[in-house]
Amino acid sequence: MSDGRGRLFGTIADLYDRYRPDPPEGLAAFLGDLEGRRVLDVGAGTGKLTRFLLARGARVSAVEPDDAMRAVLSARSPEVEAVAASAEALPFADAAFDLVASSSAWHWFAHPAAEVEIGRVLRDGGRIVVAWNGLSRTEAWVRDLVAMREREDDPYRRPRGGHADLSAGPFEDPADFELAWEWPRSVEELVGVFATYSGALVRPDAERLGLFEAVRAAAEARSVDGVVVVPMSLRGTAARRVAR
């Protein structure tokens, strides 16, 4: 994972945890039964997916290279083994996990090294689930906001995609999935979401404040009783580890 990216988001770790979306309940259907399973969250950030996994009975280890992001995770989930490492060099034994999951982080990994390393720590028949959870582009007003958020000169910009190509790893039966869901937010909460994107963080102060005002105006125009319903999309890919 990019060191530059880590330094960028680490500066706003608390805001990231406060404003970024939690996984929707529907993600559980793609993860399967987690009770008692040993699960690895890779690129765990501040632990949003980690907490989702814990709530469903998993025994979770988390990998996050950024110290500030990992500190938030550990403060909120002290029972979790949280280690400073990357997807390309996991400090775990072969076949140690029943499931490896990653949410909104896959585009930061180096490929195919990540697929090979994740395949190493998965048991035979174990599953990998890669997901992206974010704003849906199904409505024009959201597409306009996303366009304002992006910057061509953002050195941390990555194509986020929605499905993972797992062909470089030891996986079989890949299946893409997608789930539309809705996220009610206050106007200021939606502004807070945009304050956590790299496209905002790399801007000069005046330009960044201008972006926030544009988001605020768009949210206020859509709000009902102070709440704006944001269309969201969970997309990803799941597969199974082949027998060694």
57-90 confidence digits (pLDDT tens): 999 999 999 999 999 999 999 999 999 999 999 9
Q: For residue 63, what are the β-bridge partners?
A: 42, 83
CA separation for the pair 106, 117 (Å, rounded): 13
Number of residues in the chain: 244
- Where is average pLDDT lowest: 9-18, 45-54, 131-140? 9-18
Cβ contact 127:101 at 8 Å: no
Helix (H) or strand (E) holding 218: helix 205-222
CA separation for the pair 58, 97 (Å, rounded): 11
Kindly report whether the peptide bond that precedes residue 231 is cis, defined as omega within 30 degrees of 0: no
Report pLDDT for 154.
55
Report pLDDT for 22.
98
Report pLDDT for 7.
54
The mean pLDDT value for 92-103 works out to 98
* Between 178 and 160, residue with greater pLDDT: 178
Res. 120: pLDDT tops 90 = yes
Question: Residue 7 carries which side chain, given as an amino acid letter?
Answer: R
Report pLDDT for 150.
74
Neighbours of 214 (CB within 10 A): 16
Tokens of 150: 């992006």
CA separation for the pair 94, 39 (Å, rounded): 14
Res. 5: pLDDT tops 90 = no
Percent pLDDT > 90 in the chain is 83
CA separation for the pair 40, 137 (Å, rounded): 30
DSSP string, 68-84: HHHHHHHHH-TTSEEE-
Angle value at C-alpha 179, between 178 and 183, nearest 5 degrees: 140
Report pLDDT for 147.
87
Tokens of 41: 């969250």
Spatial CA neighbour of 40 closest among 68, 62, 57, 71: 62
Domains in the chain and their CATH numbers?
3-137+156-182+232-241 (3.40.50.150)
The position carrying tokens 């501040």 is 46
